[in-house]
């Protein structure tokens, strides 16, 4: 498995990402993640929709909380042909608790806790800490990457407007 040293920083410390770097124009790798009800979800479950993949280290941190809340607030801008998926290593039960406590109903939280294949397939698994690097990926209806932001400093927020504008142009 490929490793990219110093690909991002976490509070200023260089981190290694596991997996090949995903690029705009590439076909998105399939995934199997776990929903809050413990059911499996794959990319095929969202076929025909424009997808924002909001990848966060953990919902129980302030920046991840903010990122997920902001996408939850703005998800309606995509209409019925778009979906926002928040993906983390958090256990599905923790994601469910977070969604209930915050009233988040416009994003779907999915977990890569079982086998960590999403993080490696998308090149966003942080080797040193076993979490996912903060990334926002927009996929078109055919699962082609149309926008990608790997946030250089994991503790900083992404550019919400750029991702939403890219997604809205596709719906």
Q: Give all strands of the β-sheet with 107-111 in edge-to-edge order.
A: 40-42, 32-35, 107-111, 82-88, 50-55, 135-139, 145-150
Distance in angstroms (rounded) separating the CA atoms of residues 143 and 152? 24
Strand partners, 18: 3, 125
Active site residue 64: yes
Question: In terms of C-beta density within 10 A (0-12 exposed, 13-18 middle, 19 or more buried), how is residue 133 classed?
Answer: buried
Given the residues 18, 33, 52, 64, select the one marked as catalytic.
Answer: 64
Query: Whole-angstrom Cα distance, residue 126 to residue 120?
Result: 9
Give catalytic residues, as residue numbers. 64
């Amino acid at each position: 498995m490929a490793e990219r040293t110093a690909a991002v920083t976490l509070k200023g410390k260089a981190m290694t990402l596991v997996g090949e770097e995903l690029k705009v124009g590439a076909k998105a790798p399939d995934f199997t993640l776990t929903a809050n009800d413990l059911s499996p979800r794959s990319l095929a479950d969202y076929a025909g929709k424009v997808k924002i993949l909001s990848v966060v280290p953990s919902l129980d941190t302030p920046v991840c909380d903010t990122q997920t809340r902001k996408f939850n607030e703005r998800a309606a801008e995509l209409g019925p042909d778009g979906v926002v998926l928040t993906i983390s290593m958090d256990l599905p039960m923790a994601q469910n608790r977070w969604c209930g406590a915050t009233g988040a109903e416009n994003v779907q939280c999915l977990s890569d806790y079982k086998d960590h294949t999403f993080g490696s397939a998308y090149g966003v698994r942080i080797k040193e800490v076993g979490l996912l690097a903060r990334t926002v990926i927009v996929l078109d209806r055919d699962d082609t990457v149309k926008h990608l932001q790997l946030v250089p400093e994991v503790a900083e927020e992404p550019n919400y407007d750029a991702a939403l504008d890219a997604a809205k142009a596709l719906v």
